[in-house]
A and B are shown apart, each in its own frame.
Chain A
Amino acid sequence: DAKTTQPNSMESNEEEPVHLPCNHSTISGTDYIHWYRQLPSQGPEYVIHGLTSNVNNRMASLAIAEDRKSSTLILHRATLRDAAVYYCILRDPLNRDDKIIFGKGTRLHILP
């Protein structure tokens, strides 16, 4: 069973910020929160990951709730090239048997 819950789809206007939510109410204290995205006809690509603190990189920001039961991927200024399926995934470094489950993700549509 997927350990994260994401909306099936979202829409955003080009050049506006996008906030993609992810709920993970059963997260353990050692789970890392990862985000990947999959552009059409391509393999998934890494976006960002974090444990407790908010994280920023050139692609996006990751805001993690204080109780860690949810997180938000923030694209600061969406472009048409950001249209993709975004996956929120938990990964426990202490559990070798932990299955890497991508789930259905959120399909992000960018409106020109």
Chain B
Amino acid sequence: DAGVIQSPRHEVTEMGQEVTLRCKPISGHNSLFWYRQTMMRGLELLIYFNNNVPIDDSGMPEDRFSAKMPNASFSTLKIQPSEPRDSAVYFCASSRTEFWANEKLFFGSGTQLSVL
């Protein structure tokens, strides 16, 4: 099992540019989560999908952020236009179901985003 795969591992971009982060969940997992981590705010849940459908996007900071899951094996988190305050580590996680109260969450290695 390859685990949750995220790309790129590092992204450096200039303010105003579009950024796309990618995630491949573990095969057979039905739920996918996007988190953002900063020193100030810790780990924040941005959005999660169940069976490719967005269930809760209340954590998405603003309209510049959008996430899609076109199929069970791929999701993207897009920031357009990017701003320096978006600099953070973005994690993708997956679980077998959305009811992970009795399940494990599996995290990817993250994408370190720097917006200059």
Contacts and interface: CB of A to CB of B under 8 A. Distances in A.
Interface of A: 30-32, 36, 42-46, 49, 51, 87, 91-93, 96-97, 99-105
A3 to B, nearest CB: 13
A51 to B, nearest CB: 8
Interface in B31-83: 33, 42-43, 45, 55-56, 59
11 contacts: A31-B101, A32-B101, A42-B109, A42-B110, A44-B107, A49-B104, A87-B43, A92-B101, A93-B102, A100-B45, A102-B43
State the majority secondary structure of interface residues on B. mixed
Contacts of B99: 93
Nearest to B55: A96
A43 to B, nearest CB: 3
B109 A43 contact: yes
B43, B91, B98, most chain A CB atoms within 10 A = B43
A65 B35 CA distance: 31
